[in-house]
Amino acid sequence: MCCAATVAIFSIFLTSVLVHIFSIPPIPGSRDILHGSEIVNFVEATGPESLAFDPNGNGPYTGVADGRILKWQGEGLGWTEFAYTSPQRKDCVHANAPVMEHVCGRPLGLKFHSKSGDLYIADAYFGIQIVGPNGGLSTQIIKEAENEPFRFTNDLDIDEDNNVIYFTDSSTVFQRRQFVAALLSDDKTGRLLKYEQSTKQVKVLMRGLTFANGVALSKDNSFVLVAETKRCRILRYWLQGPKTGSWDVFAELPGFPDNIRRNSKGEFWVALHSKKARVTEWALANPWVGKLLLKLPLNYKQLHYIMVGGKRYATAIKLSAEGQVLEVLEDSKGKTMRFISEVEERNGKLWIGSVMMPFVGQFNLF
């Protein structure tokens, strides 16, 4: 009886400890309403990382896991193929095959040039690409910096006034299909880069970032934001004014930021891939924990499960032009949206992408 009672007490204690370390602190002021999003499904496609509308307001366009870029044509026509980043399409027949990404390409960040109508693409394996308004096979325009080929091109934004592209390379060690390993390791090789189209010169603006991710210019082009995913923060690099060439912390976040997108008011929507569970926060603060996990016989899905605290949900945060939190929208149970990668505000709606889901979300703000 004594032993049974001891076992029972220990089980209760262990359960409470596990519940605590895998728990996720709530975000003050959050509104749990994103489960009301409308789903726009794909047919045999998945992973709409980024969303973009062309200069005529058509779209959205989005890159998916098999290397294609699709265009939304409305309820009648649905999604149609617009472009692709690799000419090697013969074996790219699976909706999601990470082992084929280096062959098929993996388009991530997308941005249209409003004057030319060209679509610029950050392909994780093939660098910065461009395709004309009629689509088709894209052309590579940037593939390396400082004689070092890109390993994990992630996102971009365009300063059209000065013909400059700002973009990120998440790691010089890991590729996109190793993204969980990049987060769990002590990798600090992410970079923010600048490409001047007039001179075709690439310059590294920031280095030593832990998983450099989303990019967004301010409305007046005075600074550019970059998401440092592993450290759960947004950094601001000054392009104009007395602080030119320096950087500071724009916002500390309660989770892992992916893409950043500016709205028409100059505010920024940040998509959180997941919030920080207590166990995740502890693991990331102690690099040896991540290294230990990577040595265990676990696949990337199991490692991802640990990293997100075993939870599936969606969190979108709106920041002011100065970095203050203005709004937090969530699907706290993951009923509709989860693991979101981008939030694009357009005409009173949020278009929501997810690098892992087989659909795009659409949420009415009003």
Residue 3: which pLDDT band, with cuts at 50, 70 and 90? Answer: low
Residue 223, CA distances (Å) to 41, 243, 363 in order: 36, 10, 29
- pLDDT at 7 (0 to 100): 45
Residues 128/133/139/142 CA torsion (nearest 10 deg):
-30
* CB contact at 8 A, 135 and 129: no
- Which ranges in 187-310 belong to alpha helices (H)? 278-285, 287-295, 300-307
Distance CA 230, CA 60 (A): 28
Q: Is the pLDDT score of 314 beyond 50? A: yes
Q: pTM for this one?
A: 0.92
Residue 286: which pLDDT band, with cuts at 50, 70 and 90? Answer: confident
Q: Is the pLDDT score of 142 beyond 90? A: yes
- Mean per-residue pLDDT of the chain: 91
The region of weakest confidence among 161-175, 249-263, 296-310, 332-346 is: 296-310
Q: Is the pLDDT score of 9 beyond 70? A: no
Name the CATH code of domain 26-364 (choices 3.40.50.1000, 2.120.10.30, 3.40.50.1400, 1.20.1530.20).
2.120.10.30
Place of tokens 């660098």: 127
Half-sphere exposure of 84 (CA within 13 A, CB side): 16
Q: To the nearest 5 percent, what fractions of the chain are helix, strand and coil?
A: 15, 40, 40
Q: Is the pLDDT score of 46 beyond 80? A: yes
Q: Which of 284, 286, 252 is nearest to 270 (CA)?
A: 252
Q: Is the pLDDT score of 312 beyond 90? A: no
The pLDDT of 228-254, averaged and rounded, is: 97
Place of tokens 């013969």: 90
- pLDDT at 21 (0 to 100): 53
**Domain residue ranges of the chain, discontinuous segments joined by +:** 26-364
E strand or H helix at 11, and its extent? helix 2-21
* CB contact at 8 A, 60 and 351: yes
- pLDDT at 12 (0 to 100): 43
pLDDT, tens digit (0-9, with 9 covering 90-100), for 16-44: 434 445 567 788 899 999 999 999 999 99
The pLDDT of 166-182, averaged and rounded, is: 94
- pLDDT at 180 (0 to 100): 87
Distance CA 48, CA 159 (A): 24
- pLDDT at 16 (0 to 100): 41
Residues 257-282: b if buried by 16+ CB within 10 A, e if exposed: bbbbbbeeeebbbbbbbbbbbebbbe
Q: Is the pLDDT score of 168 beyond 90? A: yes
The region of weakest confidence among 125-134, 267-276, 285-294, 351-360 is: 285-294
For residue 297, whether the previous peptide bond is cis, meaning omega lies within 30 degrees of 0, is no
